[in-house]
Structure 1
Amino acid sequence: GGGGVGKSALTIQLIQHHFVDEYDPTIEDSYRKQVAIDEEVCLLDILDTAGQEEFSAMRDSYMRTGEGFLCAYSITSRSSFDEVAGFREQILRVKDADHVPMVLVGNKCDIEQERQITSLE
């Protein structure tokens, strides 16, 4: 997702179990977490990427090595929602595949009063 949609906040919540409420733009941070999925232990390698356009040249590299993707947008930002389709297309192009594991994440649902994207969209 683009800058400011909450990718780092989601990652920190998953890894460290606390909510980060200040915005500190990320260039790249990586994390590891052991989880159980369908009773099988898995090791997640999580790459928290830069959302800002000035780091877009790094995206192809991230996408080439990734095995699954969370495409995040802010429910308070129409432009971040519109931008997600481009990220999806870029992932499919870089992976040279018709099907790549992806999950669309609508973030910032705690500020519902600022919602710009409907649940139906």
Structure 2
Amino acid sequence: MGKKAKQEVPLHKVIMVGSGGVGKSALTLQYMYGDFVEEYDPTKADSYRKKINLDNQPCQIDILDTAGQEEYAAIRDNYYRSGEGFLCVFSICEYESFLHTQEFKDQIIRVLDDDKIPIILVGNKADLGQLRKVDPQEAAARAAEWNCRYIETSAKTRQNVDEVYTLLMRQIQQRKQGVKDRDRKRKKAKCVIL
């Protein structure tokens, strides 16, 4: 039996980006463990891995929570290079965090030189609607401009938490499948009999 006899479980690499204090870690911990962490010390990037079923297929998700490391360009760029999909998070209660999402997206595109990378724009803290500073239509318009989805979440109530990760992993998986299909077609095209 060769080493390849055991079926490899696909691994999808998700990177959390966004300003400090928008709830990236809270979303990640809620998704991973079903816990809401009110106070979290965002001193370093954390990586989480979990086996899940995506559309009845086993896979693994690897989540890198950048936790405020964005100011170190070299570190940030390395993180971005390892990502296959991004959750770009802002707080609906903090307009400045919404404005910064454009910088994060621009950095991702610049580093990866790929404007088709899966990204979802996430408005977190939906449970604090009374403190809302970001109009949902404005956020939806930005997502449309980016050609991506906009979803509002609450790490506290778990609203749409599983949904954003599942949706992003589906996009990553579809993209990988598209690359495999293209490679297969290229290989077939190269086999020319004269």
* Common fold by TM > 0.5: yes
1:91 match:
108
Please report the TM-score for the alignment, with normalisation by the length of structure 2: 0.59
Q: Whole-Å Cα distance in 2 between the matches of residues 21 and 56 of structure 1?
A: 28
Q: Which has the higher strand share?
A: 1
After TM superposition, what 4+ stretches of structure 1 lie above 4 angstroms from structure 2?
none
Mapping of residues 1-121 of structure 1, within 5 Å: 1-51=18-68, 54-121=71-138
Count of residue pairs the alignment pairs up: 121
Please report the TM-score for the alignment, with normalisation by the length of structure 1: 0.93
Specify every segment of 5 or more residues in structure 2 that has no aligned partner in the other structure, as ranges: 1-17, 139-194
State whether residues 12 and 19 of structure 1, in contact with CA within 8 Å, keep that contact through their aligned partners in structure 2.
yes
**Residues 118 and 85 of structure 1: CA distance in aligned 2, closer, same or farther (over 3 Å):** same
Q: Whole-Å Cα distance in 2 between the matches of residues 92 and 71 of structure 1?
A: 13
SS at match of 1:120: helix
Identity of aligned residues (%): 55
State whether residues 70 and 76 of structure 2, in contact with CA within 8 Å, keep that contact through their aligned partners in structure 1.
no
SS at match of 1:100: coil
Which AA in structure 1 matches 2:124? Answer: N
SS at match of 1:89: helix
Q: Tell me which of the two structures has the higher relative contact order, counting C-alpha pairs closer than 8 angstroms and 6 or more residues apart.
A: 1
Which AA in structure 2 matches 1:95? Answer: L
Which AA in structure 1 matches 2:91? Answer: S
Q: How much has 1:52 moved relative to structure 2?
A: 5.6
State whether residues 2 and 52 of structure 1, in contact with CA within 8 Å, keep that contact through their aligned partners in structure 2.
no
